[in-house]
Amino acid sequence: MRKTIIAGNWKMNHQRAAVRDTLTALTEQIKGGVKPEVIVAPAFAYLAEAVSLAKGTNVHIAAQNMHFEENGAYTGEVSPAMLVDVGVSHVILGHSERRRYFNETDETVNLKVKAAVAHDLTPLMCCGETLEQRENGKMKVWIEGQIKAGLAGISAADIKKVVIAYEPIWAIGTGRTASAEQAQKVCLIIRNTLAFLYGAAVAEAVPVLYGGSMNAHNVADLTAARDIDGGLVGGASLKAAEFAEIIAKTIVK
Ligand SMILES: O=C(CO)COP(=O)(O)O
Protein backbone atom coordinates (compact mmCIF):
# COMPACT_ATOMS: atom_id res chain seq x y z
CA MET A 1 0.00 0.00 0.00
CA ARG A 2 1.21 3.49 -0.85
CA LYS A 3 1.45 6.31 1.60
CA THR A 4 -1.08 9.11 1.27
CA ILE A 5 0.50 12.51 1.84
CA ILE A 6 -0.83 16.05 2.17
CA ALA A 7 1.92 18.65 2.02
CA GLY A 8 1.51 22.40 2.50
CA ASN A 9 3.91 24.56 0.53
CA TRP A 10 3.85 27.97 2.20
CA LYS A 11 6.15 29.45 -0.46
CA MET A 12 7.40 32.95 0.54
CA ASN A 13 4.53 33.51 2.98
CA HIS A 14 4.15 33.56 6.76
CA GLN A 15 6.62 35.29 9.04
CA ARG A 16 7.54 34.07 12.51
CA ALA A 17 4.27 34.82 14.31
CA ALA A 18 2.16 33.33 11.52
CA VAL A 19 4.39 30.25 11.32
CA ARG A 20 3.97 29.76 15.04
CA ASP A 21 0.21 30.41 15.08
CA THR A 22 -0.59 28.33 12.01
CA LEU A 23 1.53 25.34 13.01
CA THR A 24 0.25 25.38 16.58
CA ALA A 25 -3.36 25.53 15.42
CA LEU A 26 -2.79 22.87 12.78
CA THR A 27 -1.15 20.38 15.13
CA GLU A 28 -3.97 20.98 17.60
CA GLN A 29 -6.66 20.38 14.97
CA ILE A 30 -5.20 17.15 13.60
CA LYS A 31 -3.84 15.61 16.78
CA GLY A 32 -6.59 13.02 17.18
CA GLY A 33 -5.02 10.58 14.76
CA VAL A 34 -4.47 11.65 11.22
CA LYS A 35 -4.74 9.42 8.20
CA PRO A 36 -2.60 11.03 5.52
CA GLU A 37 0.98 11.91 6.35
CA VAL A 38 1.11 15.68 6.85
CA ILE A 39 4.03 17.86 5.79
CA VAL A 40 4.44 21.62 6.06
CA ALA A 41 7.11 23.60 4.19
CA PRO A 42 7.76 27.03 5.69
CA ALA A 43 10.45 29.45 4.42
CA PHE A 44 14.10 28.66 5.27
CA ALA A 45 14.26 31.35 7.97
CA TYR A 46 11.71 29.54 10.13
CA LEU A 47 12.62 25.89 9.57
CA ALA A 48 14.37 25.39 12.91
CA GLU A 49 11.49 26.98 14.77
CA ALA A 50 8.95 24.93 12.80
CA VAL A 51 10.83 21.71 13.59
CA SER A 52 10.73 22.51 17.27
CA LEU A 53 7.01 23.41 17.14
CA ALA A 54 6.21 20.19 15.28
CA LYS A 55 8.21 17.97 17.61
CA GLY A 56 6.05 15.20 19.08
CA THR A 57 3.17 15.97 16.68
CA ASN A 58 2.21 14.22 13.45
CA VAL A 59 3.42 17.09 11.23
CA HIS A 60 6.70 16.73 9.33
CA ILE A 61 8.69 19.76 8.24
CA ALA A 62 10.01 20.24 4.71
CA ALA A 63 12.27 22.77 3.05
CA GLN A 64 11.18 24.31 -0.25
CA ASN A 65 14.57 23.89 -1.94
CA MET A 66 18.23 23.13 -1.22
CA HIS A 67 21.62 23.03 -2.91
CA PHE A 68 23.09 19.69 -3.91
CA GLU A 69 26.59 20.30 -2.53
CA GLU A 70 27.60 19.50 1.01
CA ASN A 71 29.13 22.93 1.69
CA GLY A 72 31.31 25.52 -0.01
CA ALA A 73 31.33 28.89 -1.71
CA TYR A 74 27.67 29.07 -2.77
CA THR A 75 26.45 32.35 -1.34
CA GLY A 76 22.82 32.27 -0.35
CA GLU A 77 22.42 28.52 -0.55
CA VAL A 78 21.51 25.88 2.04
CA SER A 79 22.93 22.34 1.94
CA PRO A 80 21.19 19.00 2.54
CA ALA A 81 23.37 18.42 5.61
CA MET A 82 22.17 21.74 7.07
CA LEU A 83 18.54 20.72 6.60
CA VAL A 84 19.17 17.40 8.32
CA ASP A 85 21.05 19.22 11.06
CA VAL A 86 18.01 21.35 11.93
CA GLY A 87 15.68 18.35 11.86
CA VAL A 88 14.01 18.77 8.49
CA SER A 89 12.80 15.45 7.02
CA HIS A 90 11.51 16.37 3.55
CA VAL A 91 12.43 18.76 0.74
CA ILE A 92 10.42 20.07 -2.21
CA LEU A 93 12.60 19.99 -5.33
CA GLY A 94 12.09 21.33 -8.83
CA HIS A 95 8.95 23.34 -8.14
CA SER A 96 7.86 25.15 -11.32
CA GLU A 97 8.40 28.51 -9.61
CA ARG A 98 12.03 27.57 -9.01
CA ARG A 99 12.39 26.35 -12.58
CA ARG A 100 10.81 29.54 -13.92
CA TYR A 101 12.33 32.25 -11.70
CA PHE A 102 15.59 30.65 -10.55
CA ASN A 103 16.73 28.70 -13.59
CA GLU A 104 16.31 25.24 -12.11
CA THR A 105 16.75 22.60 -14.77
CA ASP A 106 16.11 18.86 -14.88
CA GLU A 107 19.87 18.44 -14.40
CA THR A 108 20.04 20.47 -11.19
CA VAL A 109 16.83 18.88 -9.95
CA ASN A 110 18.42 15.48 -10.55
CA LEU A 111 21.56 16.43 -8.58
CA LYS A 112 19.34 17.63 -5.75
CA VAL A 113 17.18 14.47 -5.73
CA LYS A 114 20.36 12.37 -5.49
CA ALA A 115 21.74 14.54 -2.69
CA ALA A 116 18.44 14.41 -0.78
CA VAL A 117 18.27 10.63 -0.94
CA ALA A 118 21.93 10.36 0.10
CA HIS A 119 21.09 12.40 3.21
CA ASP A 120 17.89 10.52 4.03
CA LEU A 121 15.78 13.54 3.20
CA THR A 122 12.59 12.63 1.36
CA PRO A 123 12.44 14.62 -1.88
CA LEU A 124 9.09 15.77 -3.25
CA MET A 125 10.13 16.09 -6.88
CA CYS A 126 7.80 18.34 -8.88
CA CYS A 127 6.87 18.12 -12.53
CA GLY A 128 4.16 19.71 -14.64
CA GLU A 129 3.33 21.15 -18.03
CA THR A 130 2.34 24.62 -19.19
CA LEU A 131 -1.06 25.27 -20.72
CA GLU A 132 0.63 25.75 -24.09
CA GLN A 133 2.31 22.34 -23.90
CA ARG A 134 -1.00 20.76 -22.94
CA GLU A 135 -2.88 22.44 -25.77
CA ASN A 136 -0.20 21.49 -28.28
CA GLY A 137 -0.37 17.81 -27.32
CA LYS A 138 3.13 17.85 -25.82
CA MET A 139 2.18 17.13 -22.23
CA LYS A 140 2.93 13.39 -22.16
CA VAL A 141 6.40 13.64 -23.69
CA TRP A 142 7.24 16.60 -21.43
CA ILE A 143 6.17 14.85 -18.22
CA GLU A 144 7.95 11.62 -19.16
CA GLY A 145 11.07 13.65 -19.91
CA GLN A 146 10.96 15.49 -16.58
CA ILE A 147 10.54 12.23 -14.66
CA LYS A 148 13.30 10.39 -16.50
CA ALA A 149 15.76 13.28 -16.29
CA GLY A 150 14.94 14.15 -12.69
CA LEU A 151 15.42 10.54 -11.58
CA ALA A 152 18.48 9.69 -13.71
CA GLY A 153 20.85 7.54 -11.67
CA ILE A 154 18.34 6.95 -8.86
CA SER A 155 18.31 3.22 -8.06
CA ALA A 156 15.23 1.02 -7.56
CA ALA A 157 16.06 0.96 -3.85
CA ASP A 158 16.30 4.74 -3.64
CA ILE A 159 13.17 5.53 -5.68
CA LYS A 160 11.21 4.11 -2.75
CA LYS A 161 12.37 7.14 -0.76
CA VAL A 162 11.08 9.60 -3.38
CA VAL A 163 7.70 11.31 -3.69
CA ILE A 164 6.56 12.78 -7.02
CA ALA A 165 4.29 15.81 -7.23
CA TYR A 166 2.39 16.54 -10.43
CA GLU A 167 1.67 20.25 -10.56
CA PRO A 168 0.28 21.51 -13.87
CA ILE A 169 1.62 25.06 -14.15
CA TRP A 170 -1.72 26.35 -15.43
CA ALA A 171 -3.41 25.20 -12.20
CA ILE A 172 -0.97 26.76 -9.71
CA GLY A 173 -2.39 29.78 -7.90
CA THR A 174 -4.97 30.28 -10.62
CA GLY A 175 -8.02 28.76 -8.96
CA ARG A 176 -8.19 26.56 -12.04
CA THR A 177 -7.83 23.00 -10.73
CA ALA A 178 -7.20 20.07 -13.01
CA SER A 179 -10.25 17.82 -12.93
CA ALA A 180 -9.80 14.52 -11.13
CA GLU A 181 -9.88 12.86 -14.55
CA GLN A 182 -7.19 15.13 -16.00
CA ALA A 183 -4.96 14.77 -12.94
CA GLN A 184 -5.43 10.98 -12.77
CA LYS A 185 -4.45 10.68 -16.41
CA VAL A 186 -1.13 12.44 -15.84
CA CYS A 187 -0.43 10.69 -12.53
CA LEU A 188 -0.89 7.41 -14.42
CA ILE A 189 1.58 8.61 -17.07
CA ILE A 190 4.00 9.26 -14.21
CA ARG A 191 3.40 5.82 -12.69
CA ASN A 192 3.84 4.15 -16.07
CA THR A 193 7.12 6.04 -16.52
CA LEU A 194 8.22 4.82 -13.09
CA ALA A 195 7.21 1.28 -14.11
CA PHE A 196 9.28 1.61 -17.30
CA LEU A 197 12.29 2.69 -15.23
CA TYR A 198 11.93 0.43 -12.18
CA GLY A 199 9.28 -2.21 -12.88
CA ALA A 200 5.58 -2.23 -12.00
CA ALA A 201 5.92 -3.38 -8.38
CA VAL A 202 8.31 -0.58 -7.48
CA ALA A 203 6.19 1.99 -9.36
CA GLU A 204 3.15 0.94 -7.33
CA ALA A 205 4.94 1.91 -4.12
CA VAL A 206 5.86 5.50 -5.06
CA PRO A 207 3.44 8.21 -3.88
CA VAL A 208 2.35 10.59 -6.65
CA LEU A 209 0.71 13.80 -5.41
CA TYR A 210 -1.36 16.38 -7.24
CA GLY A 211 -0.86 20.13 -6.76
CA GLY A 212 -2.59 23.16 -8.24
CA SER A 213 -5.48 25.02 -6.58
CA MET A 214 -6.27 22.04 -4.37
CA ASN A 215 -8.78 22.92 -1.64
CA ALA A 216 -11.34 21.42 0.72
CA HIS A 217 -13.92 21.24 -2.07
CA ASN A 218 -11.90 19.27 -4.61
CA VAL A 219 -9.53 17.19 -2.46
CA ALA A 220 -11.86 14.21 -2.03
CA ASP A 221 -12.53 13.93 -5.75
CA LEU A 222 -8.86 14.21 -6.62
CA THR A 223 -7.57 11.81 -3.98
CA ALA A 224 -10.25 9.23 -4.79
CA ALA A 225 -8.50 8.70 -8.13
CA ARG A 226 -6.42 5.53 -8.32
CA ASP A 227 -3.03 7.07 -8.96
CA ILE A 228 -3.33 10.27 -6.91
CA ASP A 229 -1.85 9.69 -3.48
CA GLY A 230 -2.44 13.07 -1.89
CA GLY A 231 -1.67 16.69 -2.57
CA LEU A 232 0.87 19.49 -2.56
CA VAL A 233 -1.19 22.46 -1.46
CA GLY A 234 -0.19 26.12 -1.80
CA GLY A 235 -2.64 28.90 -0.93
CA ALA A 236 -5.12 26.69 0.88
CA SER A 237 -2.43 25.46 3.31
CA LEU A 238 -1.78 28.89 4.78
CA LYS A 239 -4.74 28.84 7.15
CA ALA A 240 -4.77 26.04 9.72
CA ALA A 241 -8.52 25.44 9.64
CA GLU A 242 -8.66 25.24 5.85
CA PHE A 243 -5.62 22.97 5.67
CA ALA A 244 -7.00 20.75 8.45
CA GLU A 245 -10.23 20.43 6.46
CA ILE A 246 -8.28 19.35 3.39
CA ILE A 247 -6.44 16.76 5.49
CA ALA A 248 -9.72 15.50 6.95
CA LYS A 249 -11.34 15.18 3.52
CA THR A 250 -8.41 13.39 1.89
CA ILE A 251 -9.27 9.89 0.71
CA VAL A 252 -6.76 7.35 2.00
CA LYS A 253 -7.07 4.32 -0.24
O1 LIG B 1 2.35 25.32 -6.20
C2 LIG B 1 1.58 24.74 -5.46
C3 LIG B 1 2.07 23.89 -4.37
O4 LIG B 1 3.44 23.64 -4.49
C5 LIG B 1 0.13 24.88 -5.62
O6 LIG B 1 -0.22 26.17 -5.26
P7 LIG B 1 -1.78 26.55 -5.13
O8 LIG B 1 -2.39 25.48 -4.27
O9 LIG B 1 -1.77 27.90 -4.46
O10 LIG B 1 -2.33 26.56 -6.51
Mean pLDDT (whole number) for 119-136: 97
pTM: 0.98
Q: Ligand 1 in contact with 94 (CB < 6 A)?
A: no
3-state secondary structure of 139: helix
Pocket-testing residue among 10, 213, 218, 219, ligand 1, by greatest number of atoms within 8 A of Cβ: 213
CA nearest 233: which of 22, 16, 2, 17? 22
Q: Which residues are catalytic?
A: 95, 167
Least trusted range by pLDDT, from 20-34, 82-96, 144-158, 200-214: 20-34
Q: Report d(CA 166, CA 210) in Å as an integer.
A: 5
- Give the SS3 label for residue 72: coil
Closest CA to 61 of 103, 19, 97: 19
Torsions phi, psi of 157, nearest 5? -70, -40
Q: Distance of CA 153 to CAs 34, 83, 100, 166, 192, Å?
A: 34, 23, 24, 21, 18
pLDDT digits (tens, 9 = 90+) for 187-243: 999 999 999 999 999 999 999 999 999 999 999 999 999 999 999 999 999 999 999
| Residues β-bridged to residue 123 | 91
169 Cα: distance to centroid of ligand 1 (angstroms):
9
- Tell me if 11 is assigned to a ligand binding site: yes
Residues 232 and 124 sit within 8 Å (Cβ to Cβ):
yes
**CB 172 near ligand 1, within 6 Å:** yes
DSSP 239: S
CA of 172 to the centre of ligand 1 (A): 5
What phi, psi does 89 have (nearest 5°)? Answer: -110, -20
Q: Which residues, in sequence order, are CB contacts of 19 under 8 Å at separation 6+?
A: 10, 42, 46, 49, 50, 53
- Pocket probe for ligand 1: among 10, 172, 209, the residue whose CB has the most ligand atoms within 8 Å is 172
pLDDT of residue 1: 77
Residue 59 has pLDDT above 70, yes or no: yes
Residue 127 class from Cβ within 10 Å (0-12 exposed, 13-18 middle, 19+ buried)?
A: buried
C-beta 167 within 6 A of ligand 1 = yes
Q: Taking 70 as the threshold, does the pLDDT of residue 66 lie above it?
A: yes
Of 162, 157, 164, 128, whose CA–CA distance to 145 is shortest? 128
* CATH tag, 5-249: 3.20.20.70
Instruction: Give the closest residue to 233 by CA, choosing from 225, 224, 223, 243.
Output: 243
Task: Decide: 9 in ligand 1 pocket, CB within 6 A.
Answer: yes
If one residue of 131, 166, 167, 242 were mutated to test the ligand 1 pocket, choosing by the most ligand atoms within 8 A of its CB, it would be 167
pLDDT over threshold 70, residue 253 = yes
Share of the chain above pLDDT 90, in %: 96
Residue 151, pLDDT score: 98
User: So where are the chain's domains?
Assistant: 5-249
Cβ(173) to ligand 1 under 6 A?
yes
pLDDT of 34 above 70: no
Q: Report how far ligand 1's centroid is from the alpha carbon of 199 (Å).
A: 30
Distance 126 CA to ligand 1 centre (A): 11
Which residues, 6 or more positions from 232, have their beta carbon under 8 angstroms from its beta carbon? 7, 9, 92, 124, 126, 165, 167, 209, 210, 211, 214
